Structure formats: C-alpha cells, structure tokens
Amino acid sequence: MRVTFLSSMVPRLRRARHRELLHLVGFVLALALLFGLWPTLDLTVSGWFYAGEGHFPAKQWAWVRAIYDYPKVGQWIVVAALLVFLLGRFLPGRWRVTRAWRRRCLALLLAAALGVGWLVHDVVKEITNRPRPNQTQVFGGEYAFVPMLGHGAQCVDCVSFVSGHAAGGFVYMAWGMWGAPATRRRWRGIAWLAGGVLGGARILQGGHFLSDVLFSAVVIWLCCWLMRELWLRLACWRRSRKAKSEETSAVVLPGVCNQAHTPSLSRRL
C-alpha cells in the first residue's frame, strides 16, 4: 500500500507547523487591531519617559547605554557562529563540533543576515521612513508623528520602523529553528526576553515606538518560519527522490516524511 506524504503528515502539520503559523498570523492581527483602534498608543507609551524640551532622561542612564551598545556584542556572536559553522567539523577529537550545532549556527547566521541585515534595515526601514519619537514634533522634533504602517517624511535618518536593536534580540529564535516544537517554543521565549529588553531600552531613550519593537518581532518570526518551511520542503523533496530511486519491491513506501522512516524530520514538524 502506498503511503503518501499528505496522508501521513497532515495531522502532524496541523499540530505543529500550521499552529505556529496561526499564532504568528493571530499576533499580527492583534497588533493591527490594537494600533488601529488606538493609533496614539505609541505616543502614550513614549510620553511616559519624556521629560519635556526634547529630553528623554534614560539616554543618560548607564545601564540603558550599555544595552544600546549591545549590537557590538551581537556582531561578535555572529562572527563566532560563522567560525563554528565553517571550521567546527575540522577541529580535532572532542573539540569537533557536531552537525546539530553547525546547523544551529547556520540558522542564526541566515536569520541575522536575511532578517536583521536585509529585511529590517534595507527593506522595511527604507520603505516606511518613519520618524523616531525624538524626531517628532510631540517630543521636540521637526517631523509630524506617523502612525504604525504609515509612510513618513523623506529624510535620511527617519528609520524608526522597525527596531533594529529589538530585531537583534528576536533573532535568537532562529537558534531553535531546526528543532522540535518544544525547542522552538523555548527559543522563541528566550528571543522575546532578549528582544523585549533591547527594544524596551530603545523606547526609554526615545529612539523607537512600542509598535517598532513589536513589529520587529513579526519580521524576524516570519523570516524564521519561511526559512524553516523552505528547508522542510527541500528535505522532503530530497528524501522522496531518494526513496523512489530505491524502490525494488512490489510494496512501495515512498512516504519520505513517514514517521517510521524519518523520525528525526517528523519530530521537527
């Protein structure tokens, strides 16, 4: 009896991959509803930390400035991940890095390059041109406030939406991208903590609005989901071709993602 990919995997897809996508879509819709009904929420939150005359006191706080300098640390983490991915398999003896760790490093590299480096800084920021809180007239700047997803003034440094600092924290959800659902949930939680701290510091400084931080999570989460989906489809296609080439009996089971044949892949769905 032929066991097809869809018949064997649809229930599991509904429990894991589809559920994760539904969570992402639900989060986006909730944000759209929240800021659609309360468009001045960004101004309200930033106003809590504004002291008047264009001054956000948190800019001078040592611990906030230390968090602001985090990208320097993040760059070294990315460099370390690159070295582990490229050289880890060639290290001698017990120092050799396993394939699983190299794949985690690859996931982090891809998310940092495509999500933070390209989508956040080169696409979203350049398209929206949203002024930062300290650039708006409400907080002593020269530009009018631009609501979430609105198109701002054409200025060189109006790049508030979305937050690059927060994205640098949310990118750690990629570390669990190849893992099972529980692993992915755990690393999403860690990423939310890191992104929340980094994004919160930028809100305190008047460098970003609340929506800038929350939507940076959306960008990175979507990037990780798409990369994982592409990898799963490619892996299933390769296993399918391999299974078909090895068919030698009358009973054919080319279900490349069948749990009995590929438990490691099925657990990750």
Question: Per residue of the chain (269 residues), what is the pLDDT tens digit?
Answer: 444 544 454 455 456 678 889 999 999 999 999 999 999 999 999 999 999 888 999 999 999 999 898 877 777 888 888 887 777 777 777 777 888 888 888 999 999 999 999 999 999 998 888 999 999 999 999 999 988 877 776 677 889 999 999 999 999 999 998 888 889 999 999 999 999 999 999 999 999 999 999 999 999 999 999 999 998 888 888 888 877 777 755 454 454 455 444 555 555 56
Which CA distances in Å does 260 have to 8, 264, 267? 10, 10, 11
Residue 131 and residue 207 in contact, taking contact as beta carbons nearer than 8 Å: no
Give the per-residue SS3 of the chain.
CCCCHHHHHHHHHHHCHHHHHHHHHHHHHHHHHHHHHCCCHHHHHHHCCCCCCCCCHHHHCHHHHHHHCHHHHHHHHHHHHHHHHHHHHHCCHHHCCCHHHHHHHHHHHHHHHHHHHHHHHHHHHHHHCCCCHHHEHHHCCCECCCCCCCCCCCCCCCCCCCCHHHHHHHHHHHHHCCCCHHHHHHHHHHHHHHHHHHHHHHHHHCCCCHHHHHHHHHHHHHHHHHHHHHHHHHHHHHHHHHHHHCCCCCCCCCCCCCCCCCHHHHHHC
pLDDT for residue 78: 81
Split into its structural domains, the chain has a count of: 1
Q: What are phi and psi of 141, to 5 degrees?
A: -95, -165
What is the reported pTM? 0.82
Quote the domain boundaries for residue 163: 5-268
CA distance 194 to 197: 5
- At 248 the pLDDT is 54
| Confidence at residue 71, expressed as pLDDT on a 0 to 100 scale | 76
